[in-house]
Structure 1
Amino acid sequence: MPRTKKKNSREGQHGHVQPFSDEDASIETLSHCSSFSDANSVADEGGETSEDAAQEDFQYKLKGFIDSTVDKSAKTRQGALDGLKTAMATRILYEFILERRMTITDSIERCLKKGKGEEQRAAASLACLLCIQLGSGIESEEVLKTLKPIFKNILADGSANIQARQADVHATMECFENLFTRSYARMDGTYTSINPQTSQLHTNALLSWALLLTICSANQLKDILRKHLTKLPRLLESEDVNMRIAAGETIALLFELARDMDADFEFENWDELCDKLNALATDCNKHRAKTDKRKQRSVFRDVLKAVEEGDFQSETIRFGMERMTIDSWVRKRTYDAFREFVGSGMNYHLQANEFIRDVFELGPPMLVDSATVKAMKISRFERHLHNSAAFKARTKARSKFRDKRVDVGEF
C-alpha cells in the first residue's frame, strides 16, 4: 500500500513539498555525520527504531521532491530541485540515488529544456551534485552523455537566459573558450562593452575551463599554453574584480602545470606579466571598492609568488579526525570546484564521499568507533577547562595591572 501523504510544516498552501531550510540542512548534516562517525552509538542508546523512522521519513521527503520536479508549477519544480540539491550536498545518498538515477536525470533534462532562468540554473547544479554522488563510474558517464548536448546548446545559445548559461560546467573546453575569450581586451587595449551578468558568465566559464586544465594531457597543455598564455593577462585589466581574480589564479595554474612538464619553462612576456601582477597586489586605485581591493591584493600576492618563484601558500583543511593539505594550484582549483556545489557540506563529503576522497587521494572513508568519539569529547572538554583557566588567569593579571596604574596615578 502506498504511504499516506502527511501534512506537515514543510508543505505549502497547495500541498506542495517545500525545500529544506538552512536549519533543516544543518540538522540533517549533523545527524548523519554523527551516525557515520559513531555507528554503534544509536544502538547502544536504544534509539535504533527512531533512527530507522527518521531515515524513512527523510527518504519519503526525497521521493516527494523527485515527484515534484514534474509538477506543472514552476515554483514547485524550483523548490523540488533546491530540496534535492540541499540533500545531496549534505548527505551521502548513493544507494538511494542509484535506484532512481534515470528518473532524476530525466527530471533534470526536462527542467533544462522547458524551464527558465533559476530553474535551469538549479537543474544544472543538481546535475553536478548527482555526478558527485555517483562517483567516477559508468553511471556518471551516462548522466553526462545524456545532458552534455543540452548544456552545449544552452552555452552556445546567445539568446538563452544568462543564469542558465553560467550554471553549466560539464560542456567542452571549446565551449568555455568561446565564452571567456569574449572578455579579452583588444590589441589596442579597449574592451567590448559587457554587462555584469555576462561578465559573471565569462568568469564562471574561465573557472570551469581551468578545472578541465587539471586533467589535460601534456600535448593538450602545450597547445593551450601557446594559444592562451599570452592572451589571458588581458583579463587582468577587466573592470570586474572576480574576473581579474579568476584570470590571475588561472595564470598561476598554467605556470604550475607548465613547470611540471618542463622545470626550465620560460615565458617571453614574463617581466611585463610580473609588473601587472605586482600592480594588482598593491592596487591603490581610488575608483575601486575597498573590499574588492583587499580581496584582490591577497590573491595576487599569492599569484605573483607563483609566477616569480613557483611558490604556493599551502592551506590545511581539517575534517573529523583527518586533515588535508591544499599544496598546489591544481589541488586548490579542484577543491574550490567541489566546494562551490556542496557548500557547507564539504567537510562531510571529505569524510564520507568515496569519489571525492579518491580525487584527493584520501583513501577509503574512516569508520570511527564510539570509544574514539568518546575520547575526542573528553579531549574537547579538557581543552575547554584549560581555556577557561587561562581566561581567568589573564583576567586576574589584567585586573592587577589596572590597579597598579591607578596606584601610580594617585601617587
Structure 2
Amino acid sequence: MPRSRKGSAPRKGGPRRRGGAQSSAQADSGSSEDEAASEARSTTSDCPSLASASAEDGLGGDAVDEQGQQEDLEEKLKEYVDCLTDKSAKTRQGALESLRLALAARLLPDFLLQRSLTLADALEKCLRKGKGEEQALAAALGGLLCVQLGPGPQSEELFQGLQPLLVSVLTDPTASPSARLHCASALGLGCYVAAADIQDLLSCLTCLEGVFGRPCSAGGSTAPANLHGVFCATLQAWALLLTICPSSHLSHILDRQLPRLHQLLSSETVNLRIAAGETIALLFELARDLEEDLTYADMDALCGALRTLATDSNKHRAKADRRRQRATFRAVLHYVEGGDCEEETVRFGLEALYVDSWARRRVYAAFKDALGSGLHHHLQNNELLRDVFGLGPALVLDAAALKACKVSRFEKHLYNAAACKARTKARSRVRDKRADVL
C-alpha cells in the first residue's frame, strides 16, 4: 500500500514503508471489554496451565535468568495456541485473552513468525464460527498480530485472510456490539499496518464509512444507544486510515464527510461527539495540507456548534464527561479557527515522543488502545512503532547504564514528598482569604 512521506520529522503518523500514520477510542464499550476480559480470565482453568495468567509469566517482572524466563513464557504461549482449537468455547476465550495480554505486553516476532499460519487459521475459525466475546477477542488478537509482525509478507497474508471476516462481522446487524466494535478497530489497525495496495485501503474506508454514516443520515442522535460504541470505534478506525490515504483521494472524501461529521456533534454520547470533533480537526488538517486557504460553506455553523460544546455546562452530564468534552472541543475549535495543534509529550524510558498534529494524535491513540500498558515497551523495541513515529533505531543500553539511570524507590518518595509540600504551600497562598488580590 502506498505510504506517504512528508519531511524528515513526520506529521501525518510518521514515515512509512512502501508496498504492502486522550481520545477515548473505545470508552463506550469499556464495560463490555472489561466483562469479556474478566469472563475469559475466569475460565482459564479449563485450559491446561492457563491458570497462571500474565501476572505470573514474567511479562513485567525482574528475571535473574532472562533466557530461562523467555523459554518458560514461550512454553505457556504454545499451550495457549493449542487451546485455540479446543471444543470448549470458554477454553478458547481464555486462550485468546491470555495471548492478547502477552502480545500487548511483550514483543514476540520470532515466536509468532513460526506459528503465523496456525494462528491465522485459528483466528479465522473463531471469527467465522464463534459468537460474541470470542469474536471480539479474536479480532483484538488479530490486530495485535499485525502490530507484532509489522509490514511484510506474513502480516499481509494474515490481513488478507482476516479482512473479509472482520468486514462480515462489522456489517452484520445481528452480531454482538462488542464483536463489531473490536472488528472495526482491528480492521483499521490491520489495514494501516499490513494492507498490500491502495485498493485494500479504499475498500476498508468505504466499509467503515458505511457503518458510521448510518447515524449521520438520521441526525446523529437517533441510533440505538448500544451501537454508539460501534460507531465511535468505526469512526476512529476510519480516521486512522485517512492519515495514510493518498492526497488524490482526499478531496472528495473531505467534501462528502465534513457535513456528516457536523451532524454527529449532536450525538447523545459524549465519546461519539468527541470522536467526531477530533475527526473534524483531522479533516481540516489534511485539507489545509492540500489547500492552504481552506473554505467550508457552513464554517459559521460548524464553529458555533464547536463553541457550544467547548462551553457546555449541562448539569445532566457527568462532571468528568463535561470536563473532557470542553477540553477536547476547545482544542478543536482553536485549530479549526486557524490555530495550531496543541503539543503533547509522551516520555518512555530515556526517550520522548512529541504528538504535535491531529494525525499523529490519532495514530498514537490507535496503538495505545491496542497495546494498553504495553505501549511504552513497544515504543522502545518495536521497529514498526519506531518507524511510524520517526524514533529511529531502538536504543541499546547495557545493564550498568540502565542501573545508573534508574531512580531508587526511596529517592522517588523524597522527590514526590517535596513536590507535594511545595504544591500545597503554593495553593494555600492562593486560597488564603487574607491574601492581597490585585
Please classify the TM superposition score into its range, dividing by the shorter chain length. Answer: 0.7 to 0.9
Partner of 1:170: 187
Which amino acid in the other structure matches residue 232 of structure 1?
A: L
Partner of 2:216: 184
**CA deviation vs aligned residue, 1:105-133 (integer Å, no higher than 9, x gap):** 11110100111111000000000000000
Displacement of 1:291 after TM fit?
2.2
| Mapping for residues 227-266 of structure 1, pairs under 5 Å | 227-266=256-295
Report if the CA contact (8 A) 1:88-1:130 is conserved: yes
Change (3 A) 1:387 1:274: closer
**CA deviation vs aligned residue, 1:149-184 (integer Å, no higher than 9, x gap):** 111222222222222111113261111111111111
Report if the CA contact (8 A) 1:185-1:235 is conserved: no
Alpha-carbon distance between aligned partners in 1 of 2:157 and 2:272, rounded to the nearest angstrom: 33
Alpha-carbon distance between aligned partners in 2 of 1:272 and 1:358, rounded to the nearest angstrom: 39
| Mapping for residues 4-43 of structure 1, pairs under 5 Å | 14=46, 16-18=48-50, 21=53, 23-24=55-56, 27-31=58-62
Displacement of 1:355 after TM fit?
0.8
Which amino acid in the other structure matches residue 187 of structure 2?
A: H
**CA deviation vs aligned residue, 1:137-160 (integer Å, no higher than 9, x gap):** 111111111111111222222222
Q: Does 1:115 align with 2:130?
A: yes
* SS of 1:159 mapped into structure 2: coil
Which amino acid in the other structure matches residue 133 of structure 2?
A: E
After TM superposition, the score normalised by the length of structure 2 is 0.78
* SS of 1:230 mapped into structure 2: helix
Q: Does 1:161 align with 2:176?
A: yes
Displacement of 1:15 after TM fit?
5.3
RMSD across aligned positions (CA): 2.7
- Residue 104 of structure 1 is aligned with which of 119, 128, 131? 119
Partner of 2:355: 326
Which amino acid in the other structure matches residue 233 of structure 2?
A: N
Q: Does 1:278 align with 2:311?
A: no
Displacement of 1:53 after TM fit?
2.3
Displacement of 1:390 after TM fit?
7.8
Larger radius of gyration: 1
Structure with larger RCO (C-alpha < 8 A, sep 6+) = 2
Q: Does 1:52 align with 2:67?
A: yes
| Structure 2 unmatched runs, 5+ | 1-41, 189-203, 430-438
Displacement of 1:389 after TM fit?
7.1
Alpha-carbon distance between aligned partners in 2 of 1:22 and 1:308, rounded to the nearest angstrom: 47
Partner of 2:341: 312
Report if the CA contact (8 A) 2:127-2:135 is conserved: yes
Partner of 1:356: 385
Partner of 1:377: 406
Displacement of 1:378 after TM fit?
6.0
Partner of 1:80: 95
Displacement of 1:383 after TM fit?
6.7
- Residue 248 of structure 2 is aligned with which of 210, 213, 219? 219
Partner of 1:37: none
* SS of 1:316 mapped into structure 2: strand
| Structure 1 unmatched runs, 5+ | 1-9, 32-41, 402-411
Alpha-carbon distance between aligned partners in 1 of 2:365 and 2:310, rounded to the nearest angstrom: 21
Displacement of 1:269 after TM fit?
1.0
Change (3 A) 1:90 1:177: same
Report if the CA contact (8 A) 1:113-1:150 is conserved: yes
* SS of 1:184 mapped into structure 2: helix
Displacement of 1:311 after TM fit?
1.5
* SS of 1:312 mapped into structure 2: coil
Which amino acid in the other structure matches residue 221 of structure 1?
A: L
Partner of 2:78: 63
After TM superposition, the score normalised by the length of structure 1 is 0.83
* SS of 1:237 mapped into structure 2: coil
Alpha-carbon distance between aligned partners in 1 of 2:223 and 2:416, rounded to the nearest angstrom: 53
Which amino acid in the other structure matches residue 74 of structure 1?
A: A
Report if the CA contact (8 A) 2:221-2:268 is conserved: no
**Matched residue count:** 370
Change (3 A) 1:368 1:219: same
Which amino acid in the other structure matches residue 16 of structure 1?
A: P
Displacement of 1:251 after TM fit?
0.1
Which amino acid in the other structure matches residue 207 of structure 1?
A: Q
Alpha-carbon distance between aligned partners in 2 of 1:98 and 1:253, rounded to the nearest angstrom: 35
- Residue 149 of structure 1 is aligned with which of 159, 164, 167? 164
